């Protein structure tokens, strides 16, 4: 199957609010690998084009550190590519290997997060994380109850609730504003992440910080489950919290009177532990790449 046009990929990448950051990064790697595989050679002009495409993909979802992290690691391979050898297969293999490493890291996160959940627990979550969806799938037959914030404005939480119903996992869908009522009833809160900052703060779907504040007030453990690829390197550009179309709010007010900031930052002192492929960390443990 031919690689989809880059303009179509950009549009889909920008509009996708259903897939998690890691899954989007793997989709971008797959596209780059397929794009290279369809070329007879990778000369200097093609390399420059690929650099530009990577730059555009990273800039398109600036709140998702894992996108920049994985794509820039593939770009390192691109920069060391020897045009005279023209081993295009090595670049394709490099993209596939990074994608596989990302998935392996997610599998490790799920394994360690699972150890924090006992049968019969009530777990509260927010938004739709592909890593947490994999975790939830593993909780079938454990008699756990999952409470999901709907995650306005596009209500990704509804998709989570429907999937949980298909898996016969007891769940309750709540409005985001009800989260503070449920932290006192939950055994723990678990969220994914779009980026992890150098001090352990987490960038995630807006509403996460309010949930963390409520969890702290009610002494409910608040866990962030995210593979180490989501840690923003020190060399990363300044963090930008993405602004989406205010039309998504579905109100008839003038656009200049509305805001649709899609992510927020939850400070490290609101987080009980960070769960990644290496284990559960009660203090933030950055990876040196």
Render pLDDT for 8-31 as a digit per residue (tens, 0 to 9). Answer: 999 998 888 777 788 889 999 999
| Annotated active-site residue in 176, 194, 264, 276 | 194
pLDDT score of 167 more than 70? yes
Confidence of residue 121 (pLDDT cuts 50, 70, 90): very high
Q: For residue 43, what pLDDT is reported?
A: 86
Distance CA 102, CA 220 (A): 30
Give the angle 66-147-16 at the CA atoms, nearest 5°.
35
3-class DSSP state of 41:
coil
Distance CA 89, CA 94 (A): 8
3-class DSSP state of 43:
coil
Look up 82 and say whether it is catalytic: no
Q: What are 265's two structure tokens?
A: 């930052």
What domains sit in the chain, N to C, each tagged with a CATH number?
Answer: 6-108 (1.20.120), 118-281 (3.40.50.10470)
Sheet holding 202-205, edge to edge: 195-196, 202-205, 263-266
pLDDT score of 1 more than 70? no
Full-prediction pTM beyond 0.75?
yes
Question: Each residue of 55-78: pLDDT tens digit?
Answer: 999 888 888 888 888 998 999 999
In percent, the amount of the chain with pLDDT more than 90 equals 76
pLDDT score of 163 more than 90? yes
> Could you count the other beta carbons within 10 Å of the beta carbon of residue 196?
28
Over the chain, what is the mean pLDDT?
92
Q: For residue 66, what pLDDT is reported?
A: 87
């Amino acid at each position: 199957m031919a690689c989809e046009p880059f303009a179509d990929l950009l549009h889909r990448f920008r509009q996708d609010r259903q897939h998690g950051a890691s899954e989007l990064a793997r989709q971008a790697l797959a596209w780059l690998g397929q794009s290279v595989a369809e070329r007879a050679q990778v000369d200097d002009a093609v390399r420059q084009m690929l650099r530009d495409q990577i730059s555009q993909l990273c800039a398109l979802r600036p709140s998702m550190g894992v996108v920049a992290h994985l794509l820039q690691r593939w770009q390192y391979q691109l920069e060391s590519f020897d045009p005279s050898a023209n081993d295009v297969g090595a670049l394709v293999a490099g993209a596939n290997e990074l994608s596989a490493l990302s998935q392996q890291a997610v599998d490790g996160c799920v394994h360690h997060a699972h150890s924090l959940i006992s049968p019969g627990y009530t777990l509260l979550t927010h938004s739709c994380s592909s890593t947490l969806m994999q975790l939830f799938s593993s909780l079938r037959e454990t008699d756990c109850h999952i409470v999901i914030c709907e995650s306005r404005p596009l209500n990704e939480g509804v998709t989570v609730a429907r999937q949980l119903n298909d898996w016969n996992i007891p769940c309750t869908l709540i409005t985001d504003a009800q989260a503070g009522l449920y932290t006192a009833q939950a055994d723990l809160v678990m969220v994914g992440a779009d980026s992890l900052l150098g001090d352990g703060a987490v960038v995630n779907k807006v509403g996460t910080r309010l949930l963390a504040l409520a969890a702290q007030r009610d002494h409910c453990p608040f866990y962030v489950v995210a593979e180490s690829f989501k840690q923003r390197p020190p060399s990363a550009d300044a963090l930008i919290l993405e602004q989406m179309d205010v039309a998504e709010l579905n109100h008839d007010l003038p656009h200049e009177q509305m805001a649709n900031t899609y992510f927020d930052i939850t400070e490290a002192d609101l987080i009980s532990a960070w769960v990644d492929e290496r284990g559960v960390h009660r203090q933030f443990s950055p990876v040196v790449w």
